[in-house]
């Protein structure tokens, strides 16, 4: 009887613990999609050098790709994490912040370490 009560109590506690789903494991869904530095980037082709494609665990740029590593901070519209970059025959590690703003129409990207970016970059969601 005591074992049954203990098992029931443990099952009840397990039901209270939130299950970590795919949404919580990767880049927030609100940040996923195609983002542009200029209007021409959304059109694709050779002129789309400022296009950034954000997936569940990857961020793709014109000549490089970043794979999500350790997540440091995360909520529904922001992530700060380590990424493994690869492009033009080179590999490197950098921390990156993707911060959704303006109701999901704007994304600010900041990259720290191993980067030559001058500062934050402001992207607009492609339609």
pTM here is 0.77
For residues 50-69, average pLDDT:
96
- To which residue do tokens 């880049």 refer? 27
Task: Tell whether 107 is covered by a domain.
Answer: yes
Q: In total, how many domains does the chain have?
A: 1
In a domain, 63, yes or no: yes
> Per the domain annotation, does 15 fall within a domain?
no
pLDDT (0 to 100) of residue 47: 76
Residue 88 lies in a domain: yes
User: Average model confidence (pLDDT) for the chain?
Assistant: 83
Task: Supply the DSSP string of 39-68, one letter for each residue.
Answer: GGGGG-STT-TT-EEE-SSEEE-SS-EEEE
Residue 109, domain CATH: 2.40.128
Domain hosting residue 30, numbered range: 26-125
Residue 3, in any domain of the structure? no
**Res 18 pLDDT > 80:** no
Q: Is residue 6 part of a domain?
A: no
Q: What is the pLDDT of residue 125?
A: 96
- What pLDDT score does 113 carry? 81
């Amino acid at each position: 009887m005591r074992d049954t009560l203990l098992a029931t109590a443990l099952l009840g506690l397990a039901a209270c613990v939130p299950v970590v789903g795919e949404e919580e494991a990767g880049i927030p869904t609100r940040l996923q999609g195609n983002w542009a530095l200029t209007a021409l980037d959304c059109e694709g082709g050779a002129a789309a050098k400022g296009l950034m494609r954000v997936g569940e665990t990857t961020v793709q740029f014109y000549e490089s790709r970043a794979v999500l590593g350790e997540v440091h901070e995360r909520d529904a519209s922001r992530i700060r994490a380590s990424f493994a970059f690869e492009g033009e025959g080179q590999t490197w590690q950098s921390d990156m912040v993707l911060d959704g703003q303006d109701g999901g129409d704007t994304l600010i990207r900041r990259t720290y370490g191993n980067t030559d970016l001058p500062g934050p970059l402001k992207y607009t969601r492609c339609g």
